[in-house]
Structure 1
Amino acid sequence: MAKQFLLLNLIALSFSCVVLAFEPSPLQDFCVADPASPVKVNGLACKDPKSVTAEDFYFSGLHLAGNTSNTFGSKVTAVNVAQVPGLNTLGISLARVDYAPWGINPPHTHPRATEILTVLAGSLQVGFVTSNPENRLITKVLKKGDVFVFPIGLVHYQRNVGYGNAVAIAALSSQNPGVISIANAVFGSEPAIETDILAKAFQVDESVASLIQSKF
């Protein structure tokens, strides 16, 4: 009898762990973000529902091409909770990505979201790298109408492999997915990571690490 009771307790505990691993379902119709609120929560505090308007759920601009005249030849136009307060607690966001010919969206991660990318125009080479110890690159060339998924937290990138402009729309499973650009984070941190650490990590001379840091 005691063994059966212990088994039931273990089963109940395992189910409770599974439940705790996911965000709770919303308990109201919406929770429009109130950036001015002094309340600190994991996300943003809610506005008074009586003050909510259609503008809190609206964004205009994804039809406009982004300015790709930069080092990378790409531009990300984000539509997350910062642009649409009504996304607060809903766990989704969007981005438009424009690419000049041979432009790249450099290696980066989204610490809080899986991304699904749809190509609207042009051809993109995309890829992500699996975690240690394999560090396997999974890559594919996409054309208009193709879709590709980047799992949460993994390093990924896109490159325009055509001679014309390319456009993609990305959907992400977080109201605020976050972006960690690998090169910026490693070589452009404030304060800077010590050059000897970077030299050892990348197995290059310190002068090379210092030169790369100077670019950021």
Structure 2
Amino acid sequence: MGVLLVDDEQLVRTGLRAILESEPDLTVVAEAADGAEVPGLVSRHRPDVVLMDVRMPTVDGIRATEHLLSTSEFPPKVVVVTTFENDDYVYDALRAGASGFLLKRARPEEIVAAVRTVLAGDSLLFPAAIRRLAARNAPGTARDALSGARLTEREAEVLRLMASGLSNVEIAERLFLGLQTVKTHVGNVLGKLGARDRTQAVIEAYESGFVSPLDGAGGA
């Protein structure tokens, strides 16, 4: 699996490279010091994941993520890298299409797990932190919650469990369904919402008021 590192600090890129390349299945295919370099490097190297610094001097991680995901035919997953998890920039990056975020102080095993989690796509990366960001940023009053999506009752139930942080396996256990059935429901939810991945579906659920970020959660 190929990873592109985008951070204006050489020391951060060096540390991330050392951590990722210690894993036999992960390879750093390229590095960039600014978001402006991302389109060309993605086109040239076709990474599976981009670890994107959220704050950079010329083109920041939010604009770089928006541009990448709107212009690439087969865009990679984007994980924004940040110093503070409650940074409003992080929520903006998630709304722009990032699949999750990673703290610069994360332990090596957490960094590796984050890359693998977004690639697998069957669970939410740091759901509790995403929920806290949504509580700070999502509208205070519910709108007509996803009325145009025409979710079935089961799909709506699956979306709520996704938003609570449950993985596909955990949802299957909770609803007494087969794993493949859950994957089908998740795929239907993503399709009806026009969501690129699980994170985008959950953000839409929060933004619409369909799910309250203040509700109790099953994930961490």
Under TM normalisation by the shorter chain, which class is it? Answer: under 0.3
Which protein shows a greater Rg?
1
Identify the structure with the greater strand proportion: 1
Identify the structure with the greater helix proportion: 2
TM-score by length of 1: 0.24
